Structure 1
Amino acid sequence: MARTPRTTILHHLVLTLCILSGQNTPSLASTAAIDEFLGCLSADIPSRLIQTPATPSSYSALLLSTARNLRYILPDTSKPLGIIAATEHAHVQTTVRCGRRHGVRVRVRSGGHDYEGLSYASVHLHKHNEPFAVLDLATLRAIHVDPARAEAWVESGATLGELYYAVGAASRSLGFPAGSCPTVGIGGHLSGGGFGSLARKYGLSADNVLDALVVDADGRLMNRSSMGEDLFWAIRGGGGESFGVVLSWKVRLVPVPETVTVFSIVRSRNQSAIELITKWQEMAPVSPQELYLRVLVLNQQANFQALFLGRCGDLRRLMQDRFPELGMTEQNCREVSWVQSTVFFGFSATSIPLVQLLNRSSNPRYYLKVKSDHVQEPIPRDVWESIWTAWLEKPEAALLMLDPYGGLMSSISPSETPFPHRQGNLYQLQYYSFWYENGTAVAEKRMSWVRGLHKEMEPYVSKNPRAVYVNYRDLDLGTNELDGDVTSYEKARVSWGDKYFKGNFKRLAAVKTMVDPHDFFRNEQSIPPLPAAKMIP
């Protein structure tokens, strides 16, 4: 990918700061300004698409429509002053321009799967006195697949399931590398990178983005040519809601066999689950790229789930050679199309009809807290024994997910996109705590479990920094603070920036300074502008 020379970036940054010195940043919105903001919207957007607390039933219905984490829709959670359900690109441009003009921040929601709810809620509203509106992209979900060119245009409001379904309908020999949950929105997924079962063969979703349509902080509509390579680099893994609103993505579709193989093999502790996990750490990351084998630890059982880009007989021979301890047989196999494999990972079954991929429902909703890590050295067996006994056998224990890296993931440069977690990582590790009961005592117990286990794992995971994937957002790392009228670069870098992006964080901040120097698009963990003192290496 062509990259803008460093001298060009510095020239743009210096020019931007010179322009800024003669401009005033809009002040925080007053009550009158909020009314003016809503009036500004209504001049170009039909009133039925704008919901406010003044119409509580329709406002709540829209707010809850893709709110995936009940922790962020409790009564004491800061909520948007309005929700704009955009149905065309001009509505997005109007919302951004009105927000800039009247000092109202805009948060963007595509699928609502942000672990910390930042696309539709705020933990800083009272702290910084910043009212915000939500721009809901769920209706912007058109998908156009071109199987002859092995490409597709997909709008940000579409879900992964909808994209999978469309690709599968167009071709049995094409797929797209992305995540396992079909209700995840394309917009947020690609903005953070997009890891899934084809990553070892074809990289992340963001590694397969060819173009995009973006509305910037001035309300301008741009594609890859007009936005430039630096912004195009930043939106493919730099996290959502920092640089603009990505309306749609042009993606490269990848070749897959017409028949692939999946399996799910469950082993309990007395069936050598701990020994199998210990061995898995060494074999899964170095297996052929055609094999993706993850582990889910739930209810004191280890579930080994696989996708193999080939037939069952070839997979059986591979497993006998690399992982005979698992005891996989041909009876464990299910030969399916690639699109049916996405149903398998989304719903843990191959018998569910493909049309289920189009179900955007978030039910059942639950309260959720997730933390994550990267593992670079195999964790010893005795440590897994201790973890299992001390943490996984507790009544409040939930889910542990181990996803293998390796394959093409190890061949891509950590600076090719903002996602830096490439070579040197064996696998990523997620700690899920989820619960359905409301109440402070329940929440504290569940949160204590996931945070306690995360702390227990500290000696065995990546260090300096303890690295985290931005799509597994974690506010425990820290939240942004203001330095004057913009987000503090240094505080963001130390608390969470280096952990998500490592050496790419400074370049992301430089791009932010070029495209959004006033820091209009900001939230608790958005990319800050780069201070003038940091511009020259």
Structure 2
Amino acid sequence: MARSRAFALVLLFCALSSSCHVAFSYPPVLAPKEDFLACLVKEIPPRLLYAKSSPAYPTVLSATIRNSRWSSPQNVKPLYIVTPTNVSHIQSAVVCGRRHGVRIRVRSGGHDYEGLSYRSERAESFAVVDLNMMRAVSVDANARTAWVESGAQIGELYYAISKASPSLAFPAGVCPSIGVGGHFSGGGFGMLLRKFGIAAENVLDAKLVDANGKLHDRKSMGEDHFWAIRGGGGESFGIVVGWEVKLLPVPPVVTVFKVSKTLKDGAIDIVNKWQTVAPALPGDLMIRILAMAQQATFEGMYLGTCNNLLPLITSKFPELGFNRGQCNEMPWAQTIPFIHLGNRDLGDLTNRNNNFKPFAEYKSDYVYQPIPKNVWEQIFGWLTKPGAGIMIMDPYGATISATPETATPFPHRKGVLFNIQYVNYWFAEGAGAAPLQWSKDMYKFMEPYVSKNPRQAYANYRDIDLGRNEVVNDVSTYSSGKVWGEKYFKGNFQRLAMIKGKVDPEDYFRNEQSIPPLLTKY
């Protein structure tokens, strides 16, 4: 009787809603996934629910898939997509999922490199809570704080800050379409890394729905749980609905530049010098490198004017050949579209119509010792091979390196010279053989010159080749998680697993690289 009433209720909701997205055929007894749907529609408007049978389902699923590798039919797709507009919808999704054996994966911006926020490599029943419609931003310039919902893009946060004050900023990434939820959960860094550290360590509070569907803030979740969500990776400790962040002071005018050097211009010598100079520069100056083919582009931001920047670079890094004509002075918020898109249009920060969705492969490394010049010569040889990708290198030092490794789960601190991200794009399905092989071979070539025991990686540059969780008795095992987990989190991994064991011992929130619960210390 209960199931019949539930099914009747579903039909009633759909009959009353002209925008219902759920399609049904009449079964006398509901299957578990239909029980889950019936549970959802008691609390969530049908217009916010998308079943696989809905005509709109493919559009909603693909809307924020940023890596087209994971759009193909062979990937295991969610049974349903829930697009909540308030916290109660998220709580209902969790409660219904627990009750009817349907797991929840959560997507904010869709930039998860392995697509695990909306796909599964396992044949398991799951739904996606897509936070795309929960993207409110509220800035208090006087208090130097902001609240931002997880479905917002970081560009939308930057835009709101710029409208509130030209002298406030937030230290997150340079790609404005990245979703706040995943970015903050894994750490989050950009051009303010050396001055103010990572995004996660500038989070003051959060609203989180736990594995039982209960809503928490920092006080009620406790400091261990709060520590874990600020850099311990997404989809392990609950669904973070919103974040309170600390805004940092910047000058009303900062200086950015891009200087490109080819091999004929002496790029190898300049890069070789950069790797020791850039981490030792004052925290007000960040110079990163994009290396591609036979060229290295030095992208920099200085928290000050060109007049002050010129003598600093001339004295510390004369090899760059920097001159006044390469200075671009502007408010901090304009540096984001300038660096990422080559323009100063603040409107681009709020653009959610990102059509750049290549097929892609990503890997990462951390460098502690200078790479010999002759190896740089070989690296640039690799960058000209068939299928070659790009190397993006961000220097550390200053604030990021002075912060203790245990301050947040993000452990890459003292001694790091720079981080490497290996990026490879292609634009047709089936054309990835050469890029994928290059990525694997390049990663293997770099092994002697990067961090060891473990070879470290950045959690937000998720790489499934580092390892996958194994599930035993419906729980991810600690031993399998440790294989990849210590590469992202070093000694912080065990603490993360112990916290997971306390807040989600049944491993409800999980994917192939989520933190497994450690119920006993061993």
Matches of residues 28-47 of structure 1 in structure 2 within 5 Å?
Answer: 32-47=31-46
The one of 424, 428, 450 aligned to 1:437: 428
The one of 101, 104, 107 aligned to 2:102: 104
User: Which amino acid is the alignment partner of residue 70 of structure 1?
Assistant: S
Q: Give yes or no for contact 2:335–2:344 (8 Å, CA) kept in 1.
A: no
The one of 488, 510, 519 aligned to 1:500: 488
- By how many angstroms is 1:122 displaced? 1.1
Q: Which residue of 1 aligns with 2:290?
A: 296
CA distance in 2, matches of 1:334, 1:521: 45
TM-score (norm 1): 0.91
Q: Give yes or no for contact 2:137–2:160 (8 Å, CA) kept in 1.
A: yes
Given the alignment of the two structures, is residue 262 of structure 1 paired with residue 270 of structure 2, yes or no?
no
Q: Deviations over 1:502-530 (max 9, x none)?
A: 11011101110111011000000000110
The one of 498, 513, 517 aligned to 1:525: 513
User: Which amino acid is the alignment partner of residue 369 of structure 1?
Assistant: E
Q: Which residue of 2 aligns with 1:397?
A: 388
Moved more, 140-149 or 430-439: 430-439
How many residue pairs were aligned? 494
Q: Give yes or no for contact 1:368–1:433 (8 Å, CA) kept in 2.
A: yes
Matches of residues 312-327 of structure 1 in structure 2 within 5 Å?
Answer: 312-327=306-321
CA distance in 2, matches of 1:82, 1:251: 32
The one of 81, 84, 91 aligned to 1:83: 81
Q: Give yes or no for contact 1:489–1:531 (8 Å, CA) kept in 2.
A: no
Q: Give yes or no for contact 1:94–1:219 (8 Å, CA) kept in 2.
A: yes
Q: Deviations over 1:342-382 (max 9, x none)?
A: 111221x2x34111110012312110110000000010110
Q: Match of 1:138, SS?
A: helix
User: Which amino acid is the alignment partner of residue 478 of structure 1?
Assistant: G
CA distance in 2, matches of 1:506, 1:395: 41
**Aligned-residue identity in percent:** 52
User: Which amino acid is the alignment partner of residue 492 of structure 2?
Assistant: N
Q: Which residue of 2 aligns with 1:454?
A: 443
The one of 179, 183, 189 aligned to 1:185: 179
Given the alignment of the two structures, is residue 275 of structure 1 paired with residue 269 of structure 2, yes or no?
yes
Q: Match of 1:77, SS?
A: coil
User: Which amino acid is the alignment partner of residue 36 of structure 1?
Assistant: D
Q: Deviations over 1:290-345 (max 9, x none)?
A: 00100001242100000000000111111100111110000000000000111112
CA distance in 1, matches of 2:362, 2:30: 36
**Structure 2: 5+ residue runs without aligned partners?**
1-28
Q: Which residue of 2 aligns with 1:371?
A: 363
- Structure scoring higher RCO (CA < 8 A, sep ≥ 6) equals 1
CA distance in 1, matches of 2:393, 2:448: 17
Given the alignment of the two structures, is residue 169 of structure 1 paired with residue 163 of structure 2, yes or no?
yes
Computed over aligned residues only, the root mean square deviation of the Cα atoms, in angstroms, reads 1.1
CA distance in 1, matches of 2:274, 2:213: 49
CA distance in 2, matches of 1:519, 1:488: 10
Q: Deviations over 1:76-105 (max 9, x none)?
A: 111110100111110000000101111111
- By how many angstroms is 1:438 displaced? 1.3
- By how many angstroms is 1:531 displaced? 3.5
Q: Give yes or no for contact 2:498–2:521 (8 Å, CA) kept in 1.
A: no
Q: Give yes or no for contact 1:41–1:98 (8 Å, CA) kept in 2.
A: yes
User: Which amino acid is the alignment partner of residue 202 of structure 1?
Assistant: F
The one of 66, 69, 72 aligned to 1:68: 66
Q: Which residue of 2 aligns with 1:142?
A: 136
CA distance in 2, matches of 1:321, 1:279: 13
Q: Match of 1:363, SS?
A: coil
Q: Deviations over 1:472-522 (max 9, x none)?
A: 1000011000122211001110x2011011110111011101110110000
CA distance in 1, matches of 2:142, 2:350: 24
Q: Give yes or no for contact 1:183–1:361 (8 Å, CA) kept in 2.
A: no
Q: Which residue of 2 aligns with 1:229?
A: 223
Give structure 1 regions of 4+ aligned residues with deviation exceeding 2 angstroms.
531-534
CA distance in 2, matches of 1:96, 1:346: 37
Q: Give yes or no for contact 1:468–1:500 (8 Å, CA) kept in 2.
A: yes
User: Which amino acid is the alignment partner of residue 527 of structure 1?
Assistant: I
Q: Match of 2:460, SS?
A: helix
Moved more, 444-453 or 205-214: 444-453
The one of 487, 500, 508 aligned to 1:512: 500
The one of 56, 59, 68 aligned to 2:57: 59
- By how many angstroms is 1:410 displaced? 1.1
Q: Give yes or no for contact 2:191–2:286 (8 Å, CA) kept in 1.
A: yes
Q: Match of 1:437, SS?
A: coil
Q: Give yes or no for contact 2:232–2:410 (8 Å, CA) kept in 1.
A: yes
